[in-house]
A = this chain, B = another copy of it.
Amino acid sequence: MTNEQPARTYWFPEREDITIYGVLAALSDPTRLELVRQLATGGERCPYEFCDVTSKQNLSHHLKVLREAGLITARYEGRKKYLSLRRELIDDMFPGLLAGLLTAVEALPQT
């Protein structure tokens, strides 16, 4: 049988569902901050490209946290899944926040 929809679909928060507390809490974890850093500097990524960051179960968990906080979105192309930062939205809601954060993260001693 045919399935026109992507294999799995999730809930993504709208603008009014996103809070500064949720965003900050999502960003306050080293693993998630690293994911955000790579998405910010490298653009779209597939989840399996983050396998060196942590285990796949934990990766799935952290991606869920980032998604529910409103920080990332996903695009399905064929059978592949591409993650990306919701940069315009976050920059519009919290101007300077991501920029300042990424500047600080890039200046960290060890990548």
Contacts and interface: CB of A to CB of B under 8 A. Distances in A.
Nearest to A16: B109
Interface residues of A, number: 22
A105 B21 CA distance: 9
A94 B104 contact: yes
Greatest chain B CB density within 10 A among A29, A30, A101 is at: A101
A46 interface: no
Contacts of A30: 21
Interface of A: 20-21, 24-25, 27-30, 33, 93-101, 103-105, 108
Sorted from nearest, which 9 A-B pairs have the closest CB atoms? Answer: A96-B100, A97-B100, A24-B28, A94-B104, A25-B28, A96-B96, A28-B28, A20-B104, A100-B100
A9 to B, nearest CB: 28
Contacts of A28: 21, 24-25, 27-28
